[in-house]
Chains A and B, each alone.
Chain A
Amino acid sequence: MAAQRQASSASQTPHISPAELSYLYTSLGLPGSPIRPDGRSATQFRPLTAETDILPGTNGSARVGFADGTQAIVGVKAEVEKTVVSADALKLPQQTQEEYAGNDDSEGNQGSSSGHGSWVQMSIEIPGFRDDDALPVFLSEMMREPLVESVSNEGSGNGEMAGGLKGRLVINKRWHWRLYIDVLLLSQPQSYPLPLLSLTTHLALLSTKLPKLKSQGEEDPFFDDDWDAAEYLYPRSTTTAFPTCSQKVRPPVTLLVVSVGENIIFDPDREEIAVADTVLAISITRDSDSDNLKLVSIRTIDPPSRLTQPGVPNSENVTTLGSTAAAEAVVLNPSTGEDEVPGVWRPRRGGVKRSTVARMVKLVLEKGGVGEEVLEGLESVQVG
């Protein structure tokens, strides 16, 4: 029962004693320079390896592995599907019929370019979890949402995806692609798997190709049978002046950011999450116009530290009651606004300060910030 509930939060909390938790918290919360258990800096990511196009049977695929052995594979399959005509389109059936019979050339782009979010389906498999368990369901929705909702500024031409991913899936008024993104975590989750899965999905989508459409307008779709002629789901500009940046539009990436005290730490591992004050999933993408980063979504994730066992201060401990050591000062933790005895673990209650969120976002988005670093790293992965 408890395990079930834990699963819904950021990750299974490791069984760490309150004293260890407190130690971790203190070292991570050191003002200015946190000390992380594995010695990374606050913004440093764990090393990872990535490759794409590993599953020949899929439209696109990728594998990403962390150095700790956690690996994820993502396969993307696409299927042609008939669009269910919505109610307002049904109002003018004759007109559309005529339009179809008469001038097929005027494919009305209006309205047809807006796809539907449900056309992207994501399923996540994590060993030890059922597919209707809370964690996979929650994770998949957390990744799918920025994917379908990130719409780049419309109408700026060349390599642009009008209407974002949803729009790209529209074939014509009556047909669209349905995308199945299957995410497979190959090992027990060592930490909250969101960043890993997101990066893998990002790469898989980049390598995804759709068969080249040969029919035009409102005809039933008809495709080129040459796979080499297939086109990338995320279109690439043909003029590759900067080979690292061949795509103008890229799928969003979701990063996991935690705050401990005043510090903001990226790519937390399991222990770090266990003591975090706040856990945020921040989805970003590159803004195609300005080359700046753009925030797509922020979600707070229930911090697991809430469920940890509290430590007992000497003042309340029966065995140390009355001893001299009991005279510990109660200090106000500035980040949580609660009274704490230093060195004694108290589970976090959640809640985050506005300024902390702002700083997190800023760190991600600023020029030369973490977000840019991650995206550049991803862009350097050879795709296709």
Chain B
Amino acid sequence: MKSLRRDSSSDPHTANVTSKIFVRSTKSGKVQKIVRELYLRQDIPCSSKLCSTCPSVAPADANGNIAPFVLSEHPAGTTAFPRGHYLVPDTNALLNGMDLFEHTGAFYDVIVLQTVLEELKNQSLPLYNRLLALIKTDEKRFYLFFNEFRMETHVRRGQNESINDRNDRAVRAVATWYTEHLRAAAKKGKKEKTVPAIVVITDDKDSLRKAKEENVTALSLTDYVSGLEDSDRLLDMINESREQREVKGARGEMFYPEYYTMSKIMTGLRAGTLHQGIFNVSPYNYLEGSVNVAAFDKPLIILGRDNSNRAISGDAVVIEVLPKDQWKSPSTKIVDEEAVTKNDNPEAEDNEAVVPERERKALQEEVRKAHGKSTEGRPQPTAKVVGVIKRNWRQYVGHVDSGSTGSQASSGRRQQNVFVLPMDKRVPKIRVRTRQASELLGQRILVTIDAWDRDSRYPTGHFIRSLGELETKGAETEALLLEYDVQYKPFPKAVLDCLPAEGHDWRVPASKEDIGWKGRRDLRDLLICSIDPPGCQDIDDALHARPLPNGNFEVGVHIADVSHFVKPNNAMDLEASLRGTTVYLVDKRIDMLPHLLGTDLCSLKPYVERYAFSVLWEMTPNAEVVSTDFTKSVIRSREAFSYEQAQMRIDDPSKKDELTESMRTLLRFSKILRQKRMDAGALNLASPEVRIEADNDEVGDPLTDVKTKAMLATNSLVEEFMLHANITVAAKIYSTFSQTAMLRRHATPPPQNFEELISQLSKKRDMRLDVSSSRALADSLDQCVDAKNPFFNTLVRILATRCMTSAEYFCAGAHAESEFRHYGLASPIYTHFTSPIRRYADLLVHRQLASAIGYEGEDGRAIVEGVMTRNRLEDICRNINYRHRNAQHAGRASIEYYVGQALKARGEKLSANGVDGGIEEEGYVMRVFENGVVVFVPRFGIEGVVRLEDFVLKGDSALRSVEERRELVVRRESDFDNEEYTLQVSDKGHPDQGMSVELFQRVTVNVSSVKEESGRGAGKRRVRVLILGAQN
């Protein structure tokens, strides 16, 4: 019997054909062997501007152009490579040092291999995306080299060679090829002296050794960076976790249980024994997390570090429900990481346990409670984290914990471990190795988490950059924007190129024959005006009303025609869809669209002609809609009012002109519309909002800038008509795009969300809350009044709002029609149409509406522009929902910060003897914990946690400084009644001199801004609320 083995080496055709074989497991459980043929080529360019051969062979596109070459002719040199160098990083180098590669001070002219890129994609998707972004930018000169497709650099995997070894070999092969290739090219061009070195960056020891043998220049990331200027700062940016793991791998003391294997998780998820959800940490107790899963109607509670097993707030985790005897009730205690783990030493890890005694104690008391008596304390299912599907780690803003820098902080450049306390309290402190500890103290810094291993109590991370000194406006604002992932960089050139060339001189074409007038109605004669907050520059909407001969009225809402200027899928549109919304901070606005459009060309400024998208109704005097019309139009606003101005004009009986009359009509109609909406069951919700009017006067009390939002009739006028327009448009686009209409819904909250509030109300105030429908809820909320306490109703509304789900954008095909309902507005269908300058959703809706009414636009493409695939739309919805939420949080945080600053400024001005006396205000108890309460101060719209020591009792009213009060904590004792929501605070041994507070109670508080003077977190400023006494 003869055996044959085909020998392919002699066949000339096989040299450039090879195949890649791998196993693919599909979602349905199929396992396939996949064979991909690779046809190797020789025309993939090296992309170095030094090379004279590649430009002649590089493949050209259809127009005969070849891609511009990326790598510089004169790459930067270092002391080691005076003639300049190109970098070839391997996958690990990118994993460990992506921040370095993004750094603008170094790391130019980098050759990114296809092999490396693919490997990176498998290991970390976020890093992969960051690398792609780097390759796209021109300034860093990153070149993606398709080494697997080039014949000379393709590497066949040898027998018994691991994939890693093969990939490392591929990296070295590329380095070798580049060296020879460039040398040959230089020889041709007689520039031999200038050939740059090819430097492989790898942290793999084996690869470094082999590189030496093969005569390839290779350096570890650390060695390379050490040779650069400013190396101390750069070295801090290397991901340390891998190295460390190698060092201490042998010790093997594990603090956390291991995660389940992927297959075990998948089996469990399919079988329903494990659940998947997003891990959320309680803002009051860092040891308590919760996960919402489909199988349970209440969130599952995750208590303690052991159970949360290295999950960080925001991670997508897999959890296992614990046996029933371990079920507990949610925490009734405020537990702050800063307070509990005060003395941890970041360097010493040897004798630390996962759950130190202090933490265990904090938890144990709750277990006792769980087995307590009745409804409120009924244990809830608890769970433990057994796996992480997706880490949602981002970059965190924080500051170095001064207590952790140790005594040798000043001893110079030694590398040491410090703890960074993230601004977000739900994120545990991060252990960071740094050589610049002393400089970073007192700075706002940006760090990232690299890993959280089983043998480390805290996650390890590395430093990225400093934002500036704590408390400075610039640093704090940037911190805020970073924390809420707001894109605040200036618009890139590609976006600005999309603006009309005329700039501010752009005008509506004078001639009606002009193409710009095509399909537009001339509404310049109408008496249109806009009503906005004072100082508003981006005017989205304007209104008009006029009587018709038949006794009815024509009412029009005119919205800035942004879609005329922002064409789909150009750079500006993509940027806007990413930003999603304009973010308003107290002293800053981060625009979604470039300034020129937002505040000028689109803005419906008075006295000038502007393009608009108009919704026109014919209404009976009773505000019944007779007919609706949508049209693109040209308008000329007669006046831009502020709410106050409009109100005054309406109220002024001497004004009898047409414009004022039309506003009076609008006001009258708006009241009818509002009543109708209320009758339908719309909710009047409240959120604790204050407004900051920053007029920068240095004299006087800074706190006067802080104003609670006043509601004028004209506010509601505009609001009603916008709601009405939105609803009308929603119905229209849904009728045309039954699958892809961009809509907004507010899901009916599940009744169990209200359980706690209902029981609190019935117990404390004997009030009933009916949550069976929005109508019933609205009515019962109206009943929740306390004659002696006018704010009580608002308080209940705030609390009720928190029980609800948040509204969201969605694509019509994603839900059944019955689910479209907007609960809060009691409207069966809703969308956002009226603010296209500041919201991307509105812009999309504009395109859809234009398409729905058959508007063709200048180039006849408008009909197509409204059409979108559902997938794309769902992606956009996901993004803008996220951006929207973040924008709200950022705005709120900005106000909070401003209030703190105003308090501080006031304190500095008024304090006589260096001690800030604070300001006395009314507050309301919102939540009662075992060791403190949460008080809401409506004057400033802030919520403050009041701990035991911050209850001012009779004996200690003189003690005001933070340190003095802190000493009180050991003397305090409390008696907490979980059932009655009361907390009795007293000094030990003097129960008669105590103070008792209960839920919903009005208390007198002292609000001040204090700075931690010593100990941990020194230099950190916070708003402190002291309870002075209870009011009836």
Contacts of A47 in B (CB 8 A): 1-2
Contact between chains at B163 and A215 (CB < 8 Å): no
Other-chain residue from A56, A59, A101, A374 in contact with B273 (beta carbon distance below 8 A): A101
CB distance from B7 to the nearest CB of A (A): 11
Contact segment of A15-23, A220-228, A344-352: A220-228
Contact segment of A1-9, A83-91, A375-383: A375-383
CB distance from A79 to the nearest CB of B (A): 7
Contact between chains at A222 and B25 (CB < 8 Å): yes
- A180 contacts partner chain B, Cβ-Cβ < 8 Å: no
Contacts of A381 in B (CB 8 A): 1, 3
Contacts of B163 in A (CB 8 A): 226, 228
Other-chain residue from B5, B25, B271 in contact with A51 (beta carbon distance below 8 A): B5
Contacts of B33 in A (CB 8 A): 57-59, 211, 227
One digit per residue, 1 when the CB lies within 8 angstroms of any chain A CB and 0 when it does not, for chain B 254-276 equals 00000001111011001101000
Contacts of B266 in A (CB 8 A): 219-220, 222
Contacts of B31 in A (CB 8 A): 78-80, 211, 221, 223
One digit per residue, 1 when the CB lies within 8 angstroms of any chain A CB and 0 when it does not, for chain B 162-182 equals 010000000000000000000
Contacts of A372 in B (CB 8 A): none
- B324 contacts partner chain A, Cβ-Cβ < 8 Å: no
- A272 contacts partner chain B, Cβ-Cβ < 8 Å: no
Task: Enumerate A34-66 residues with CB–CB distance to B below 8 Å.
Answer: 45, 47-51, 56-59
- B22 contacts partner chain A, Cβ-Cβ < 8 Å: yes
Contact between chains at A50 and B22 (CB < 8 Å): no
- A271 contacts partner chain B, Cβ-Cβ < 8 Å: no
Contact between chains at B22 and A215 (CB < 8 Å): no
Contact between chains at A49 and B4 (CB < 8 Å): yes
Contacts of A78 in B (CB 8 A): 31
Other-chain residue from B6, B35, B267 in contact with A220 (beta carbon distance below 8 A): B267
Contact between chains at B261 and A215 (CB < 8 Å): yes
CB distance from A74 to the nearest CB of B (A): 15
Chain A residue nearest to B5 in the complex (CB): A382
**In the complex, A328→B6 CA distance in Å?**
59
- B23 contacts partner chain A, Cβ-Cβ < 8 Å: yes
Contact between chains at A220 and B4 (CB < 8 Å): no
Contact between chains at A382 and B3 (CB < 8 Å): yes
Task: Enumerate A263-311 residues with CB–CB distance to B below 8 Å.
Answer: none
Contact between chains at B22 and A56 (CB < 8 Å): no
Contacts of B489 in A (CB 8 A): none
Contact between chains at A225 and B4 (CB < 8 Å): no
Known: A57-B33, A221-B263. A50 touches B3 (CB 8 A): yes
Contacts of A45 in B (CB 8 A): 1
- B914 contacts partner chain A, Cβ-Cβ < 8 Å: no
One digit per residue, 1 when the CB lies within 8 angstroms of any chain B CB and 0 when it does not, for chain A 85-105 equals 000000000000000110010
Task: Enumerate A209-237 residues with CB–CB distance to B below 8 Å.
Answer: 211, 214-216, 218-228, 230
Contact between chains at B2 and A48 (CB < 8 Å): yes
Contacts of A216 in B (CB 8 A): 261, 263-264
**In the complex, A225→B163 CA distance in Å?**
11
**In the complex, A377→B29 CA distance in Å?**
39
CB distance from B163 to the nearest CB of A (A): 6
Task: Enumerate B1-27 residues with CB–CB distance to A below 8 Å.
Answer: 1-6, 19, 21-25
One digit per residue, 1 when the CB lies within 8 angstroms of any chain A CB and 0 when it does not, for chain B 443-470 equals 0000000000000000000000000000
**In the complex, A49→B2 CA distance in Å?**
5
**In the complex, A49→B6 CA distance in Å?**
12
Chain A residue nearest to B37 in the complex (CB): A56
Contact between chains at A225 and B24 (CB < 8 Å): yes
Contact between chains at B23 and A50 (CB < 8 Å): no
Contacts of B3 in A (CB 8 A): 49-51, 380-382
CB distance from A316 to the nearest CB of B (A): 48
Contacts of B157 in A (CB 8 A): 228
Q: How many residues on the B side are at the interface (Cβ–Cβ under 8 A)?
A: 28
**In the complex, A127→B267 CA distance in Å?**
45
One digit per residue, 1 when the CB lies within 8 angstroms of any chain A CB and 0 when it does not, for chain B 381-421 equals 00000000000000000000000000000000000000000
- B30 contacts partner chain A, Cβ-Cβ < 8 Å: yes
Contacts of B35 in A (CB 8 A): 56-57
CB distance from A236 to the nearest CB of B (A): 14
**In the complex, A100→B272 CA distance in Å?**
12
Known: A56-B35, A220-B270. A211 touches B261 (CB 8 A): no
Contact between chains at B4 and A227 (CB < 8 Å): no
Contacts of A56 in B (CB 8 A): 19, 21, 35
Contacts of B4 in A (CB 8 A): 49-51
**In the complex, A378→B21 CA distance in Å?**
27
Task: Enumerate B28-82 residues with CB–CB distance to A below 8 Å.
Answer: 29-31, 33, 35
CB distance from B390 to the nearest CB of A (A): 18
Chain A residue nearest to B29 in the complex (CB): A80
**In the complex, A221→B30 CA distance in Å?**
10
Known: A56-B21, A215-B261, A225-B25. A50 touches B30 (CB 8 A): no
Chain B residue nearest to A172 in the complex (CB): B267
Contact between chains at A79 and B6 (CB < 8 Å): no
CB distance from A246 to the nearest CB of B (A): 14
Chain A residue nearest to B32 in the complex (CB): A79
CB distance from B516 to the nearest CB of A (A): 57
Contacts of B264 in A (CB 8 A): 104, 215-216, 219
One digit per residue, 1 when the CB lies within 8 angstroms of any chain B CB and 0 when it does not, for chain A 334-374 equals 00000000000000000000000000000000000000001
Contacts of B23 in A (CB 8 A): 211, 223-227, 230
Known: A47-B2, A51-B3. A214 touches B263 (CB 8 A): yes
CB distance from A7 to the nearest CB of B (A): 29
CB distance from A255 to the nearest CB of B (A): 13
Other-chain residue from B6, B22, B30, B261 in contact with A219 (beta carbon distance below 8 A): B261
Known: A80-B30, A222-B25. A50 touches B271 (CB 8 A): no
Contact between chains at B267 and A218 (CB < 8 Å): yes
**In the complex, A51→B22 CA distance in Å?**
22
Chain A residue nearest to B320 in the complex (CB): A101
Other-chain residue from A211, A214, A219 in contact with B267 (beta carbon distance below 8 A): A219
Chain B residue nearest to A226 in the complex (CB): B163
Contacts of A382 in B (CB 8 A): 3, 5
Contact between chains at B2 and A215 (CB < 8 Å): no
Contact between chains at A220 and B24 (CB < 8 Å): no
CB distance from B887 to the nearest CB of A (A): 41
Contacts of A215 in B (CB 8 A): 261-264, 267
Contacts of A378 in B (CB 8 A): 1
**In the complex, A195→B866 CA distance in Å?**
68
**In the complex, A58→B157 CA distance in Å?**
20
Contact between chains at B22 and A227 (CB < 8 Å): yes
Chain B residue nearest to A50 in the complex (CB): B3
**In the complex, A51→B2 CA distance in Å?**
9
One digit per residue, 1 when the CB lies within 8 angstroms of any chain A CB and 0 when it does not, for chain B 350-373 equals 000000000000000000000000
**In the complex, A226→B122 CA distance in Å?**
13
Chain B residue nearest to A77 in the complex (CB): B33
Known: A225-B22, A226-B23. A220 touches B263 (CB 8 A): yes
Q: Which of B5, B21, B22, B33 has the most CB of A within 10 A?
A: B33
Contacts of A226 in B (CB 8 A): 22-23, 163
**In the complex, A54→B264 CA distance in Å?**
36
**In the complex, A214→B267 CA distance in Å?**
13
**In the complex, A57→B23 CA distance in Å?**
11
Contact between chains at A51 and B261 (CB < 8 Å): no
One digit per residue, 1 when the CB lies within 8 angstroms of any chain A CB and 0 when it does not, for chain B 268-307 equals 0011010000000000000000000000000000000000
22 contacts between A and B (CB under 8 A): A45-B1, A47-B1, A47-B2, A50-B2, A50-B3, A56-B21, A79-B30, A100-B271, A101-B273, A211-B23, A211-B33, A214-B261, A215-B261, A215-B264, A216-B261, A216-B263, A216-B264, A223-B23, A227-B21, A227-B33, A377-B1, A381-B1
Known A45-B1, A51-B3, A223-B23; further 14 A-B contacts with Cβ < 8 A: A47-B1, A49-B3, A49-B4, A50-B1, A50-B2, A79-B31, A80-B29, A80-B30, A216-B263, A219-B267, A221-B29, A221-B263, A381-B3, A382-B5
- Across the A-B interface, the 10 shortest Cβ-Cβ residue pairs: A215-B263, A377-B1, A222-B263, A51-B4, A220-B267, A381-B3, A219-B263, A227-B21, A219-B267, A211-B23
